[in-house]
Amino acid sequence: MKGYENIKAFRAVALTLKGYSEEETSNGLAWSCKVYCDNKKIGTVSNTGNGAVTACDVPIDKQVALVSSLKSKGYQLTPSLAGQVCTEPADPDEWFVAAISQMVDEVTRLRQLKRLVKTHLIIRQYSSEHEFSFYKAVPSAASKARLIRQLGSDLICFMNDEIHGL
């Protein structure tokens, strides 16, 4: 559930990523995005895809404030490199860049979920190791009732309305 909770956390601090673009390079994936806070552009974050560090021109004081706000709202980094779990950055600017890099993936996932909301029932289940389970059925009172009968006490909740509201 971490990805979804993270989305709610960065939305709660009015942080938005816009203008995301990516391009495959011979050495990896180059990407960039504009970072907005309270609908005001505060800078850009980009990676050239050649193995260099991710560049960030958001002012350091804004980064520190946003890191503090994100942490207080429960935003969690999932630091990993090539499948290996790494330690979380202690430095606020490194933490901010890692968070923005992770948010790019979370925003992409949210867009996918918002498309699926129209054609699938999206639920949380006790027995599932995944964040969500998907059932191909147009959301309606009848399809929800059918799924409640089918799953019984394994059903935690339906997520369609909450995802649609993000």
Handedness of CA 108, 111, 113, 119 (dihedral sign): negative
The count of domains in the chain is 2
pTM of the model: 0.76
The torsion angles phi and psi of 118, rounded to 5 degrees, stand at: -75, -25
- Indicate if 97 and 121 belong to the same structural domain: no
- Indicate if 104 and 35 belong to the same structural domain: yes
- Indicate if 24 and 93 belong to the same structural domain: yes
Residue ranges making up the domain that contains 152: 117-165
- Indicate if 100 and 126 belong to the same structural domain: no
Task: Single out the residue of 132, 166, 5 nearest to residue 76, CA to CA.
Answer: 5
Residue 53's alpha-carbon distances to 98, 112, 116, in angstroms, are 11, 28, 34
From first to last of its 166 residues, the chain has per-residue pLDDT tens of 467 788 889 989 999 999 999 898 888 888 999 999 999 999 999 998 888 888 999 999 999 999 999 999 999 998 665 455 667 888 998 999 999 988 988 888 888 888 999 999 999 999 988 888 999 999 999 999 999 999 999 999 999 988 887 7
- Residue showing tokens 């495959």: 24
Task: Single out the residue of 145, 120, 144 nearest to residue 133, CA to CA.
Answer: 120
- By the 8 A CB rule, do 128 and 161 touch? no
Q: Which residues, 6 or more positions from 81, have their beta carbon under 8 angstroms from its beta carbon?
A: none
